[in-house]
Chain A
Amino acid sequence: MNWEVMIPLIIFLIVIFFIGFWASKQLKNTNTFLEEYFLGGRQLGGFILAMTMIATYGSASSFIGGPGVAYNQGLGWVLLSMAQVATGYFVLMVLGKKFAIVARKYNAVTLIDFLKERYQSKWVVLLSALSIIIFLFSAMAAQWVGGARLIESLTGLSYTAALFLFAASVMVYVIIGGFRAVALTDTVQGVVMFFGTLILLVATVIAGGGLSNIISDLSAENPNLITPFGHDGSLTPLYVSSFWILVGVGVVGLPQVTVRAMSYKDSKAMHKALIIGTIVVGFIMLGMHLIGVFARPILPGIDVGDKVMPMIAMEVLPAWLAGIVLAAPMAAIMSTVDSLLLIVSSAVVKDVYLNYIKPDATDNNIKNISLTVTTVLGVLVFLMALSPPDLLIWLNLFSFGGLEAAFIWPVVLGLYWNTGNKFGAITSMILGVGSYILFHTYYPNAFGMHTVVLPILISLIGFITVSLATNHSFNKPSDGKLQTDGKEGVF
């Protein structure tokens, strides 16, 4: 076992643990348990908001999978990853102040609360809860596998032991600390991710003998590596551009990101988060993927993409510094997993249990249920991750695209288009998820674009057509007020 690498990692885990513990103290002296546990009491400031959004979004695929693909594909994959700069500003700008104001009016604690009040429909709630639970649960399992593999490769522990160590350290602070612990630890993890990227990028460039040297080595090995088209010229402009939907604008539909857009304190926090978020997410994505490419001339012939990032860190840095830098992917994974665990738990507790099983639960009751459900979910993911499925990055992208197709239009059009109604929302969710699964299975990357593009278009058409059709037949505006199911009645 490599203790020089281990010690910084262990210190990192202990620090995270104490922050979570400290945040759980806040939980005890509050009387609105749900809002505090699942939303941090809507008190996030700008810096924490930016960091928790980035850290939640930036996952194993940005730090392990992505650089691995970049190692094989060259600069074309870095180009692709830069679509993610948009996530730094787009989500907060588009959902923006209106989402924050409306969520407060609805008293919404989860994304589903928002949809429930907006559409007044049991089916919207149940479909949303179902897709969150299924898709985020599988995303979570993929991330845990990534985390455990990372610990396994760094420490030489067995996979099961590594998974246990990882699961235990995440679960403790999520269960006892809730959203505030998640956001605070995300902030520390985000800072670690930022500086980890910076240190490793500089060290890799130096080890490769400077930028010009690295680029000419790459071009000597295979000139395609320094074109935008990938190592065999197969990355078409259309395919690469379609990632702007998947990892750029489509992120508006991801519940774990969206819920953060209702958690901030005031306009100032949002403004600050826009600037910090854009800088940090852009830097991390550019840096990490460049590291993957630059690692190629330094360490040629790595055949498992996921090993590129740990190996290059050990190669170009002294062991103790590699330990600190390798805390970055660990941080990325933990900060994604903790948010996913909490949001799946909120879907079960708040959206299903409190809405339809026991609406009159007492505060103490809710508290116990929340803690129990979070624990049970954590244990279930642990068991799933024991026999891990392969292709981490694709599993992750699958749940990504499915959720985007389900939620993007019910959220965005629900916010900005008053005619949109529950029939449109239900159609759009079913069409979005259904067509995503069908395309993914039978015709992946249809017409040379990423699979997510068509389902998002189909669900848009479904939402608009059905909303308009039902609007006509149900609402004859007689007294200037539309009056079916509530919300449209205002225009």
Chain B
Amino acid sequence: MKYEVDQKDPRFKISHREAWIGIILVTINFIWWFGFAYGMGSKSVESYSYVWGLPAWFFYSCVAGFVVMVILVVFAVKFLFKEVPFEDEGGNSK
């Protein structure tokens, strides 16, 4: 037991929260991607509309979806993520 990991380490609470944020982000990403691709892309090709020359389903799902995810990740990191030290000088464990 020389490398005891203290599960009550307060840093882990932050870390668990951030892991959940990751799962929430990937869920949003998937829904956005799936919704626009198959919601708009399942129509017949003749009735497609276009944004910047690209089919609208593709533009919203892949191009806009990518930009939205970058914005969400930046937001999450800047406002929701906390900095914690990784080394053990904090007096927990040992």
Contacts and interface: CB of A to CB of B under 8 A. Distances in A.
Interface of A: 75, 78-79, 82-83, 85-86, 88-90, 92-98, 100-102, 104-107, 117, 210-215, 219, 223-224, 226-229, 237, 241, 244, 248-249, 266-268, 271, 274-275, 278-279, 282-283, 286, 416, 418, 486-487, 489-491
Given A274-B77, A275-B77, A79 B45 contact: no
A82 B66 CA distance: 8
Interface string B3-20: 111110101101110110
Given A101-B15, A226-B58, 20 more contacts: A79-B58, A82-B33, A85-B29, A86-B30, A89-B69, A90-B25, A93-B19, A96-B18, A96-B22, A97-B84, A98-B19, A101-B11, A107-B3, A212-B53, A224-B45, A248-B26, A271-B83, A278-B70, A282-B66, A418-B7
Given A85-B29, A286-B63, A215 B18 contact: no
Contacts of A88: 73
Interface string B51-79: 01111011001110110011001100100
Contacts of A215: 50, 53-55
Nearest to B41: A228
B91 interface: no
Interface of B: 1, 3-7, 9, 11-12, 14-16, 18-19, 21-23, 25-26, 29-30, 33-34, 37-38, 41-42, 45, 48, 50, 52-55, 57-58, 61-63, 65-66, 69-70, 73-74, 77, 81-88, 93
Contacts, number: 155
Nearest to A102: B5
Contact of A416 (B19, B48, B85): B19
B71 to A, nearest CB: 10
Nearest to B23: A94
Helix, strand, loop or mixed for chain B's interface? helix
Given A210-B53, A215-B50, A489-B1, A237 B16 contact: no
Contacts of A282: 66, 69-70
Contact of A97 (B14, B62, B66): B14
A263 to B, nearest CB: 11
13 contacts: A82-B61, A98-B15, A105-B93, A219-B45, A224-B45, A226-B58, A227-B55, A228-B37, A267-B83, A274-B73, A278-B73, A282-B70, A490-B5
